[in-house]
Amino acid sequence: MRKYDAGKCDIVVIGAGHAGIEAALAAARLGCKTVCFAINLDSVGNMPCNPAIGGTGKGHLVRELDALGGEMAKAADRACIQYRMLNRGKGPAVYSLRAQADRRRYQAVMKLALESQENLRLIQAEAVEIGLEGGAVASVTTATGAVWRCRAAVICTGTYLKGRTITGEVLRESGPDGLAASGPLSDSLKSLGVPLRRFKTGTPPRVNARSVDFSKMEEQPGDSEPEPFSFSTADPPENLAKCYLTYTNERTHEIIRANLGRSPLYSGVITGTGPRYCPSIETKVMTFPDKPRHQLFIEPMGLGTLELYVQGFSSSMPEEVQAEMLRTIPGLENAEITRPAYAIEYDCADPLALAPTLEFKDIPGLYGAGQFNGSSGYEEAAVQGFMAGVNAALKIQGRGPFVLSRSEAYIGALIDDLVTRGTNEPYRMMTSRSEYRLILRQDNADERLTKYGCALGLVSRERYEAVLAKYAAVDAELERLENTHLAPTPELAAALEGLGESAPASGVSLAALLRRPHVNYAALSKFDVSRPDLPKAVINQVEIRLKYAGYIKRQIKQVEEFKRMESRPIPADIDYYAVPGLRTEARQKLAAVRPESFGRAARISGVSPADMAALALYAGRRA
């Protein structure tokens, strides 16, 4: 291959999936000359696993990204066709928005955003080599010999890096959806000392809606009053599509068990580690032998196609076995497969090699994001891409790094988990991973994070002022409710008893009434004569703060203790092998991660409280 000088830029982003999109846009919007490579421009913003944005825990990430100035939420609101708020039966801490996307529309919206962005070039090319000078990133070379001189590179390769798809006995060197895989870049990274390993994920089959009998399925409607993803979306979204629910059965499971010998998962063909929380249908059947059925969601790929995803039915079984399995499922007896399911293996990095900025500790200027860092999911990828792109730009501009604490955002918890604890399987964000989820809700992401987006220069001052005005209105209404009292009357007593609440014996504030479990803001409207006309978003915040005040106060105290530990630094030059009382495993883990604070050290897997006590004693004596 003959190389040539293609030009100079500040940052090269390798990949234009959900991580690459956010990395490239953030870097360019911060003023850095950015080049984004996609192995195929038709792969920009692709959704090979499911046609949806958000979900449990993931919806929080999308809202946080939006508050910081990312693109995913805005694109979702322009392309999504059905919205549902999950976990409505639980508390607001775990409410999570999920929306079905028109897959091709979403890709078109994102591709146009990249093409339109100043300081950004989108190019179809395969990156094959990272070049260093003085140990730091200096260039990226493509398969056609183009050498782009740069000061930083962000790797967002998704499942393309030495990708291999598997359907029964058929193995192909391929990326998702039959697109070309990327091979040489993996070898280049290995030569630089990047620690790589092999992960796996799966996709479900797609079927033609014309061959599906929806009368045998349960309709899954969208919300009657859908909420948008982006805080800046003015008009409420519309539900334009329907989803359906059906189930596997014992006959389905018999076919799976009878064909286990042909399953690459059980024959040893697949060597990569798969996701724990999104297993294949054959894994579900073998892991839960007593379960008589498993849920399957039938989701449209978009408004301009009849293709449907059979979500929950990912598999690597041979195509003819997949067809036989589908025919046992109510509504899918005559289903015509348009795209068979497949498993895909790919190379990814050990995230313990990354700093909290997502820069490789030993290779200045090299950043990782998304599935390349060992995570799974579009939303996890997008937020990492944003953070990596921002930090690459800030470093080039001589500005300080941008790192979110796990007490500030789900994004902080996700990245901290990856770079501090590592992962031995594709990492998925869930609400249970955040110990501060009551105050890190999706509904208040704008209050928590818009200030950072504005400070970075990615959110306008006008938008930030609107957020400040919103929460000033919340505070004013809380004060009014605390200071507005109602006298006990027969009408009030009857209204409360109708809600299952007892009547007050004496005068009571509106705030005290709203703290009761069955009383909401609307229920008191006819008694609250001085009520101002407030937006729904303000009313939601008022109700949450009143009903969960005690829990929120307790969690704020926990955050204060967390910050105390995070603010206690560990000397960067400490020799962990010289610390008396540390166990061998702790020495090795601490030396590998090199945490910058006692809080982060305590979260490293394999470091015990006794190890922390020994480390604190040693650091105190040294100080």
The pLDDT of residue 223 is above 90: yes
Sheet (strand 136-142) strand order: 4-8, 146-149, 136-142, 127-133
Residue 318: predicted pLDDT: 96
The pLDDT of residue 608 is above 90: no
What fold, for 568-622?
DNA polymerase; domain 1 (1.10.150)
Residue 619: predicted pLDDT: 85
Buried/exposed 550-559: b ≥16 CB within 10 Å, e otherwise: eeeeebeeeb
Q: Calculate mean pLDDT across residues 170-180.
A: 95
Q: Calculate mean pLDDT across residues 360-365.
A: 97
CA-wise closest residue to 238 among 74, 52, 78, 97: 78
Residue 572: predicted pLDDT: 86
Residue 271: predicted pLDDT: 80
Residue 252: predicted pLDDT: 98
The pLDDT of residue 370 is above 80: yes
In this structure, CATH architecture of domain 206-344 = Beta Barrel (2.40)
- For the structural domain made of 461-555, what CATH number should be given? 1.10.10.1800
The pLDDT of residue 238 is above 90: yes
* pLDDT cut 90: percent of the chain above it: 86
CA-wise closest residue to 370 among 24, 95, 139, 115: 24
Q: Calculate mean pLDDT across residues 140-151.
A: 98
Mean pLDDT across the chain, nearest whole number? 95
The pLDDT of residue 447 is above 80: yes
Strand partners, 143: none
The pLDDT of residue 623 is above 80: no
Residue 1: predicted pLDDT: 81
- Domain positions in the chain are 206-344, 461-555, 568-622
Convert the pLDDT of each residue in 484-537 to its tens digit. 999 999 999 999 999 999 988 899 999 999 999 999 999 999 999 899 999 999
Residue 371: predicted pLDDT: 97
The pLDDT of residue 346 is above 80: yes
Higher pLDDT, 264 or 68: 68
The pLDDT of residue 609 is above 90: no
Q: Calculate mean pLDDT across residues 429-438.
A: 92
Higher pLDDT, 45 or 614: 45
Dihedral (C-alpha) 59, 100, 272, 354: value to the nearest 10 degrees? -30
- Which residue carries 């290995």 as its tokens? 190
pLDDT band (50, 70, 90) for residue 300? very high
Buried/exposed 466-485: b ≥16 CB within 10 Å, e otherwise: ebeebeebbeebbebbeebe
The pLDDT of residue 610 is above 90: no
Tokens of 129: 């080599």
The pLDDT of residue 70 is above 80: yes
- Which residue carries 């031995």 as its tokens? 424
Helical H segments across 457-548, by residue range = 461-483, 490-498, 510-514, 536-547
The pLDDT of residue 277 is above 80: no
Q: Calculate mean pLDDT across residues 393-418.
A: 97
Check: CB of residue 69 under 8 Å from CB of residue 453. Answer: yes
Convert the pLDDT of each residue in 188-218 to its tens digit. 999 999 999 999 999 999 999 999 999 999 9
Convert the pLDDT of each residue in 311-331 to its tens digit. 999 999 999 999 999 999 999
The pLDDT of residue 34 is above 80: yes
Dihedral of CA 288/289/290/296: which sign? positive
Intrachain domains 206-344 and 568-622 with the same fold: no
The two beta strands, 4-8 and 146-149, are parallel
Residue 341: predicted pLDDT: 97
Residue 561: predicted pLDDT: 86
